[in-house]
Amino acid sequence: MSKTIVPFGPQHPVLPEPIHLSLTVEDEVVKEAVPAFGYVHRGLEKLAEKRDFHQMIQVVERVCGICSMIHAMCYCQGLEHLMKVEVPRRGQFLRVIWSELHRIHSHLLWLGLYADAFGFESVFMQFWKIRERIMDINEATAGNRVIVSVNQVGGVRRDLSPSKCDWILDELNHVEKEVKALESTMSNNYTVKKRTVGKGILTREMAYELGAAGPTLRASGIAQDMRQLQYEAFDELDFEPVVETDGDAFARGLVRFKETIQSIDLVRQAIARLPQGDTFVKVKGKPEGEVVQRVEQPRGECLYYIKANGTKFLDRLRIRTPTFANIPPLAAMLPGMELADVPVLILSIDPCISCTER
């Protein structure tokens, strides 16, 4: 049969956000995939010219709803580096707690969407039910459910009382129990395996060459995680990147599933070692200079470039989000796959298009 070009997206039932792929198909088999962007560009980086550097924290939080805390943390780390501010130890631990809570709820959201993509609706409902507990923790500790707004230049705006810490630990016990009850479903279920094992294989070499990031990279056998840079309080926490070697959609699911449990453990460790003291230091003056800051988001490595000129407005703010790095691997893993597997494979890189286009 001759080649047909099938437009996939930007509006598609499986896509939570708009991305367009031109799929060249021959006998239901994808031969080529060409991605196109530009449906949710909001010009948030340009806003740095109109909002001062303190107000930009609330703007960068809105680059991505799901990992808002980690975006703001990265931005604040950059500015703290420029202004030579040292965040108090307690503030660093609190940042780790909230960022790992964000990772848990992001991965639980993704695991649900992923199950939904291959038609496993009950698993989707189960994961999202568990996720509600994390959202409640966020609301009770930080004030808001998703965009928690706890960061400020020099530390965090909220503190955790010992009773709150106990309550978080209690809730996390429930979360861990409920997540582990779904472990056999995600790792040993006929439906899940049939739809994901051997699909969209990204070899170790391909993942490295194409610059994959985050769980997509780690599922191909490369143990790279920006938390190894030991920013904030990660130098005191026991942490090993989760690695799978198969490089298929199934491995990417497993990496995220295991990272959810790992993050629960990291929150426990951080609460156990939470030191006393201030949560923030007051900052004076204006930032000046250039800095590149990297953190690990639920989707992978996120990079912030900040250029400040000594006034309250930044010269340039540039954000490289993990999904942007994962688009070339996606385009490389699609050829040879059946058209029916394309939704699962797109979901398997955990695309966040609003991040990518900002």
Partner 1 sequence: MIKNIFKNFVSKSATRPYPIEVRPGFKNARGELDNKVSECTLCGICAKKCPSQCITVSRKENLWELNPFACVYCGICVDACPKSCLVHYTEHKKPARVKTNLVLKKEISPKLKVVANA
How far from 89 is each of 20, 53, 126, 228, 231, CA to CA, in Å?
44, 23, 36, 18, 12
Q: Which stretch, 21-29, 107-115, 129-137, 252-260, contacts partner 1 (CB under 8 A)? A: 129-137
Rg (CA), the chain: 20
Q: How far is the CB of 260 from partner 1 (least distance, A)?
A: 18
Q: At residue 266, what is the residue type?
A: L
Q: Does 157 bind partner 1 (CB under 8 A)?
A: yes
Q: Does 144 bind partner 1 (CB under 8 A)?
A: yes
Q: Does 57 bind partner 1 (CB under 8 A)?
A: yes
Q: Does 174 bind partner 1 (CB under 8 A)?
A: no
Residue 276: strand, helix, or coil: coil
The Cα–Cα gap between 199 and 353 comes to 22
Shorter beta-carbon distance to partner 1: residue 90 or 133: 133
Whether 25 and 6 have beta carbons less than 8 Å apart is answered as yes
Q: Does 147 bind partner 1 (CB under 8 A)?
A: yes
Q: Which stretch, 120-128, 240-248, 271-279, 334-342, contacts partner 1 (CB under 8 A)? A: 120-128
How far from 88 is each of 29, 141, 148, 226, 267, CA to CA, in Å?
55, 19, 20, 21, 18
Tokens 């540039």 locate to 318
Q: Does 54 bind partner 1 (CB under 8 A)?
A: yes
Q: Which stretch, 78-86, 105-113, 119-127, 242-250, contacts partner 1 (CB under 8 A)? A: 119-127
Q: Which stretch, 131-139, 211-219, 257-265, 332-340, contacts partner 1 (CB under 8 A)? A: 131-139
The beta strand positions in 37-167, using DSSP E, are 151-152, 155-156
Q: Which of 51, 81, 307, 320 binds partner 1 (CB under 8 A)?
A: 51
Q: At residue 84, what is the residue type?
A: K
The Cα–Cα gap between 329 and 320 comes to 16
Question: In the complex, which residues of this chain contact partner 1 (CB under 8 A)?
Answer: 51, 54-59, 62, 122-123, 126, 129, 132, 136, 139-140, 143-144, 147, 149, 157-158, 181, 184-185, 189
